[in-house]
Each structure stands twice: as structure tokens, then as C-alpha cells.
Amino acid sequence: MILLRRGCGAGAVVLLCLGLLGCDAPPLEFGGPTMGSSYSVKYLPGARGPTVAQAQAATEAILAEVDQQLSTYRDDSLIARFNALPANSCQTLPAEMLGLVTFGEQLSQQSAGAFDLTLEPLLNLWGFGPQARGERVPTSSEIAAARLQVGHQHVQVKGQQLCKDAAVALDFNSVAAGYAVDRITAKLAELGVGSYLVEVTGEVKAQGQKADGSPWRIAIEAPLDNQQVAQRILPLDGYGISTSGDYHNFFEQDGQRYSHTLDPLTGAPITHNLAQVSVVDRSVQRADGLSTLLMVLGPERGLAFAEREGIAALFVSRAGTGFVSHSSSAFTRLFGAEQP
């Protein structure tokens, strides 16, 4: 069993590569550091598939490009340069980045503002962002001032440029890893790989079957602080999964717990009892963004949203000293009802 935790304090998944040992043709594999965490790739090369060196070089070229485009932790990234621009500025950006901004705006509109890529001023204020100066509870006036620089209405895609009418700072952490997985898996398919398991900071996608004919399987980790327990084991073929949670990244002040997941509509951490949510989708970028969105909405509104939009999601909520889970109809259709 390999435990893979997402970076930035989000949820985690356990990859159960069952049946790999002793196979006639074990998968090729490689991995390394990325995005403040790690990545891993396992694949069956096939008759004309790439060598490990070829696949790793292609994968790491994608990860390096994503980092150079989207990292808010390096001053020379494209998004850091955009964020540093004053109000009423524009910057030419690659089509892929503009597509992510458009995707974020669509999720924002779809959820009435529960998802927002422009939260960086608030994340910094609470101590969770790249420019944070320590975790603390800000004043209401500080929150109100930061919210003036938050909102997708302040950014517009104009041709090949991204423009802003306020000092907006974008943060792609809620979609970057899923976006990277989608790009890596597309590249592997282009190289002739038909069976793989790809993970980037906990975002996962699997395709095809292992050498023994069994599916790639992952297990969603239960939201426990001091144990590693599988909440649910899922076979994946052509799907990706993203898990967001609030139990690894938080701080406490005066006996109150403050989650790193902020509600864009209040400018403050979420306060409901949803501990984590996992989303399964063919697009890992979409699963990544939706898991954050549903985490903001909470157990009741999140489940209603998932049902309305046909999203395959598993919600795990705190209940007393334990947890209860609820799955959307789309999730149950894919994986069946949870066994008691």
C-alpha cells in the first residue's frame, strides 16, 4: 500500500496497487518531487510504448512548464508576473492558462461564487497563501478590504490577453494538479501507453488494466489526523479522482479551529461539518475544481449541487466523535452503494 498525500493540506488518497507483486509483467514506474509535494507514474509499456527515461522526460517537461506558468511560489512564473501588475493592466498568456481562467469563471458562475480563483488576497490574509505572514484571524475591516480585490468579475480574457480592472491575484492551486494530470495522461496516450496510473500531489487518474487483467484501484483515505485508514476502495478505468479536505491544513486560535478552505462569499474559513469530499470525473482538472467547490458548499448544499449537476461525489462529514458518508447518485451508479 502506498499512501499519497496531497500538498497544500488538502485531502489524501491511498493507492492500492493490488496484485502487482509477482505479476509476469510488472508496470514500469517513476516519480519525483513537484509542486511542493510529489508525483508518481506507473504504466504498462505495451509493444511500442516509451522507455522509462522517455516517459519520465516527457512528464517532467510538462510539470516544469506547469510550474513556470502557475506557481505562486516563484517570482518569475507567468501568473506571479500577472499578479504583480496593477489594476487596469493586461498580459499575454498561453492559451492553456486562459482556458483555466475561463474554466474557473464557469465554475464560479455555476456555483454562485462558491468557487473562485482570485482568492489569493484572502488566503494571504488568513496565513494560507504564498505571501502570508503567519496564520492569524484578521479583523472584519481587513477582510472587507481584501474582498475588494477578489472576484472573477475583475478579470477578463481578451483575445490572447488576460486583463484585470482591480489589483486581482489569481491562485490556481485548486486546479493546477488536476490540470497537470490531464496533460500527462494525454501525453502518455500520445506515446502509445494504454494502461497507466498517474498521480500528482494526490490527484489521480487511471486507464486500462494491470498485467493480470485486474483494474487499477485506489482507496480514499478516511479524514483522520493520526491514522491511515481507507474510507472506500474504488476501481478506476478512464476516470480521475480528487479529494479535498480541511483536516490537514488549519490553525487554532482561542480554542477555535480555522480551516484553510475559505468561502469566497464570506471571506472566512468554512464552518460546516464536512471533513472531506471526493469527486470522480474523466477530467481530473474538473474533479479538482469541483472537489474544492463542494468543500466550500458543505454537506447539504454540496450534495444538492452534485445531484443537480450529475457529479459523482462522496461526502464524509463529522458526526460526534466519528464520521458519516453520503454519496451522490452519480457516484453510486459508478461504484455501487457503500457496504455497511
Give dist(CA 9, CA 87) in Å, integer: 31
Q: State the pLDDT at residue 23.
A: 41
pTM of the full predicted structure?
0.91
Question: Torsions phi, psi of 279, nearest 5?
Answer: -125, 135
18 CB neighbour count, 10 Å cutoff: 15
Look up cell 491511515; give the residue: 228
Alpha-helix runs per DSSP H in 115-222? 120-126, 140-147, 176-190
CB 316 within 8 A of CB 277: yes
**What's CA 195's distance to the chain center, in Å?**
22
Residue 249 predicted with pLDDT over 80: no
Q: How far apart are CA 75 and CA 8, in angstroms?
A: 19
Residue 2 has pLDDT above 50, yes or no: no
- Residue 244: its pLDDT value, please? 93
- Residue 7's pLDDT is what? 40
pLDDT in tens, 189-218: 999 999 999 999 999 999 999 989 999 999
Q: According to the CATH classification, is domain 70-164 in 3.40.50.280?
A: no
Amino acid 179: pLDDT: 98
Q: Is the model's pLDDT at 132 over the cut of 90? A: no
